[in-house]
Each structure stands twice: as C-alpha cells, then as structure tokens.
Amino acid sequence: MDVKAAVAYEAGKPLTIETVQLEGPKAGEVLVEIKATGICHTDAYTLSGKDPEGLFPAILGHEGAGVVVEVGDGVKSLKPGDHVIPLYTPECRNCEYCLSFKTNLCQAIRATQGRGVMPDGTSRFSSNGKMLHHYMGTSTFANYTVLPEIAVAKIREDAPFEKVCYIGCGVTTGIGAVINTAKVEPGSRVVVFGLGGIGLNVIQGARMVGASQIVGVDINPDKRELAEKFGMTDFVNPREVEGDLVPYLVELTKGGADYSFECIGNVNVMRQALECCHKGWGMSVIIGVAAAGQEISTRPFQLVTGRVWKGTAFGGAKGRTDVPKIVDWYMEGKINIDDLITHVMPLEKINEGFDLMHQGESIRSVVTF
Ligand code: NAD
Ligand code: DAO
Ligand code: ZN
C-alpha cells in the first residue's frame, strides 16, 4: 500500500516528505495506522549521523500511538481496531531476559531491530523499489507502519493519541527511571540534572512517589517555571553557583542526594550526578545518551564508599505490561502530559519540529496525521 512518510535519506539532511510503499504484516506482525508521533532527541541524534548504529535511508520515529488495522498469521493478543503504542523495547515474555525479571531489555528481536529490518530479516518499507530501513523497530514517522506483535502495547480507547504517544518514550523513560530503576522511596531527596522532556518526567515521577526534596539543575533558567509546576522544590543554575557544584548540592540536600538522575547525555555532568549522592547509599541513574565514544569517570572510592551508579533504558519499563498502566495514570489525572506538549504540527512540518528542538524552544513537538 502507499503511505505518507518522512524519509531520512542522508545524515544531516532534512527529512523528505513523500509517498512510500508498505507491505502488509507477515506472520506475528501487525499493521498499525499511526495517528500521532512525538519527535525525540534520539531521532535527531540518528539523523545527525552521530549515531554509530544509524542506518540510511530509514523511516525514523519511535514515540507513536495509533490503531491496529490488520494482523498477520498467528497474532493472538491484538485485533483490528485496538488502540496501541509501538514499543522500541519489546516484551516477548519468553526470552532469557524477559524471564529473568531483572531487566526490561527483551532480546527476542534485538539483532534484526538493530539492522533496521523486521524479524524475518526483510523490510516492509520501500520507495520506488528501493528498500527503506525500519528504525528502532517502530518507524512512526509514517501514517502506517508494521510492527512485531511483541513490540505493541494495547491501550484504552478513550486516550487521546496526540498526548499518549509521548508515553511511547519520554514519559515512560522519566517516570520509569524513578519507579522501576531507582525505586525512589517517599521522603527521599532527589537531584535531577537537565529539565527537558525527560528530566521533567523524572520530576513528576519523584513527586508521585513522595520525594520530599526535588532539586532541578539546568543551565537554562527558562526551565524553572515549568519544573516547579511539575514538583521541583529547588532550582540550581550551575552557572550561578560560586565554586564547585558538587559540594553546593551536597549541602543543599543536607548530606547528599538519595537519588540523582542525569537527563542530558553529558559525561561531565554524569560524574557530578554520581558525586553529589549521599555517602553510603546514594544512587545515581544515567538516562542521557552520550555521544559515541564518550566515557565516564570518577574516583573508585566514590563507589567503595557506597554510592551506586546505574543506567536505564525506557525507564526499565516492560512495555506491554507497564505502558497501558501509565496511560491509565494520565487518564486518571495522576500525571501531566498536556503541559509538556508544546507544539503540534502536520507531517509536512516535521522538519520545523526538529528545528524547535535544536533551538531549545519545545519540550515535545507532536506530529498528527
Ligand atoms: P532536552 O534537550 O529536552 O533536555 C536537556 C536539558 O539539559 C535542557 O533543558 C538543557 O538546558 C539542559 N542542559 C544541557 N547541558 C546542561 C548542563 N551542562 N548542565 C545542566 N543542564 C544542562 O533533552 P531530553 O529530551 O530531555 O533528553 C535528555 C537525554 O535523554 C538525551 O540524551 C536523550 O537522548 C536521552 N534519552 C534517553 C532515554 C533512555 O531510555 N535512556 C530515552 C529517551 C531519551
Ligand atoms: O541492546 O537490548 C538492547 C537495547 C538497546 C536499546 C535501548 C534503548 C536505549 C535508549 C535510547 C534512547 C531511546 C529513545
Ligand atoms: Zn523477551
């Protein structure tokens, strides 16, 4: 079938809006009509050419929501008409990783997903006979996409697509990092580095679980107002701190953070995030994706004296199980997504959405079809 898509033909070039061809779902796959998709930094990172695993030409996009229109042979958990969120981290419930109950990094289709193809090793997308790569197993920058059944979360039908698409990445990553990865307890002191689309969701997760102090750290003072609305209790602009930031944060948190989160992708900040943690028990969680080749460092004594360094992908969430619950939280008013969606646009303007992100003017831009 013909579908409308934004195609990444070359690194560093704007996306091309055009009609491409999509084959129907094979066994174990579903065809989904994408109704809305967010634009995330990870799409921009891949488009920039800095992502060593980036493949071109490709249909990017991994933060979507839509409706199942057709299912392939053997699909049991989904049917036409189901409202869904695509998952770049699938949940097969059967692989060694899923069955470990220690991680959300299902490996059932990891190899083919990384090669930009479906589990049978081929792509469903093409343009004038030339193969286009899938991206993160989701390719939501198209009004239809094909997904493996295990990479689809079924959600309630009254949830608005243009809001809950953000649960496909940013919301779940931030809130999940607090709940699943760090397991922040009520009364904790939390420090969040970077108050963008991820950091604000960490803040609202920390508020949800009853953190008593939530310090936000950002070099952009314009982030303060929205972060306070989401639950930040103290704002720190590192550029206004005299002397070292780490001792300043340790004093502000009365001995150090119980939990800190790096939501930028800056390896120097990752070190500060670890070292501002409380001696004996403080845990720092890396969420930001640093550029290829970057390395983190600290004095090992930081770990010997009880600080813990962790990382998280998709907030440690098991998508088919956890994503529908987060949609419920949004519909029940327990979490705020509306204030984070700063721009909505048609697919034709998707490159403007990338520009807004690079200029730091948007939290989330959402494309609606
Ligand atoms: P963003 O650009 O919206 O937010 C980053 C914020 O950090 C901005 O407010 C910026 O002003 C601030 N900042 C930049 N440099 C700083 C510094 N030195 N000190 C303090 N603040 C600084 O980005 P985002 O969408 O929130 O994404 C954050 C990171 O999370 C990215 O690296 C992204 O790729 C990554 N990410 C990770 C996952 C995961 O599963 N681990 C999922 C999605 C995104
Ligand atoms: O190796 O099993 C694996 C999964 C690797 C991908 C995990 C995603 C990491 C987060 C990147 C940002 C997502 C938008
Ligand atoms: Zn699995």
* Domains in the chain: boundaries: 2-168+337-368, 174-313
Q: Which ligand is nearest to the CA of 97?
A: 3
Cβ of residue 173 lying under 6 Å from some atom of ligand 1: yes
Q: Are 29 and 148 in contact (CB under 8 A)?
A: yes
Q: Is the CB of 289 under 6 A from ligand 2?
A: yes
Fold of the CATH domain 2-168+337-368: Quinone Oxidoreductase; Chain A, domain 1 (3.90.180)
110 classed as catalytic: yes
Q: Is 40 in the pocket of ligand 2 (CB under 6 A)?
A: yes
Determine whether the shortest distance from the Cβ of 169 to ligand 2 is under 6 A: yes
What is the CB neighbour count within 10 angstroms for residue 82? 18
- Is 1.10.10.60 the CATH classification of the domain at 174-313? no
- Give the residue, by CA position, lying nearest to ligand 2 atom 11: 313
Beta pairing, strands 234-236 & 144-148: unpaired
Element (H, E) at 155: strand 152-155
Distances (CA, A) of 212 to 174, 179, 186, 217, 280: 18, 15, 7, 17, 19
Atom number of ligand 1 nearest to Cα 217: 20
278 is catalytic: no
Is 263 among the residues known to form the active site?
no
DSSP letter assigned to residue 185: P
Q: For residue 260, what are the β-bridge partners?
A: 191, 284
Residue pair 257/277 in contact (Cβ under 8 Å)? The answer is yes
Q: How many CB atoms within 10 Å of residue 25?
A: 23
Total-model pTM: 0.97
What residues form DSSP beta bridges with 284? 260, 309
Q: Hey, whose CA ends up nearest to atom 7 of ligand 2?
A: 313
Q: How far is the CA of 137 from the centre of ligand 2 (A)?
A: 11
Q: Is 83 a catalytic residue?
A: no
CA–centroid distance, 128 to ligand 2, in Å, is 31
Show pLDDT as tens, one digit a residue, over the chain (369 residues): 999 999 999 999 999 999 999 999 999 999 999 999 999 999 999 999 999 999 999 999 999 999 999 999 999 999 999 999 999 999 999 999 999 999 999 999 999 999 999 999 999 999 999 999 999 999 999 999 999 999 999 999 999 999 999 999 999 999 999 999 999 999 999 999 999 999 999 999 999 999 999 999 999 999 999 999 999 999 999 999 999 999 999 999 999 999 999 999 999 999 999 999 999 999 999 999 998 899 999 999 999 999 999 999 999 999 999 999 999 999 999 999 999 999 999 999 999 999 999 998 999 999 999
